[in-house]
Amino acid sequence: MPKYLIERDIPGAGQLSAKELQAISQKSCGVLGKLGPQIQWVHSYVTDEKVYCVYIAPNVEMVLEHARHGGFPANRVSEIRSMIDPTTAEE
């Protein structure tokens, strides 16, 4: 199944409290539960002004549907084609 990177512009994201991040996570999980098991949230990275999320979903439309139902921005959605890390350099 395809994996997607979602870029969400959220001004002040890096200043959100643990409680606020928990509430956002709960909202996301609630929407995911309603959409069904074919879409999964893997993890997210919070920076000063953005949140980058990794999702597994059958298509980009489902990722966008999750954003609409949750009230989350999805400013850019890119399909992850491959993943590399330092071990990729090894022979």
Q: How confident is the model at residue 86 (pLDDT cuts 50, 70, 90)?
A: very high
Strands 3-9 and 50-56: antiparallel
Which superfamily, per CATH, for 3-82? Answer: ORF SCO4226, nickel-binding ferredoxin-like monomer (3.30.70.3090)
Residue 34 has a pLDDT of 96
**Sign (positive or negative) of CA dihedral 25, 30, 31, 35:** positive
- Band of pLDDT at residue 50, cut at 50, 70 and 90: very high
Rounded mean pLDDT, 69-91: 96
pTM of the model: 0.92
Tokens encoding 91: 């022979």
pLDDT tens by residue, 60-76: 999 999 999 999 999 99
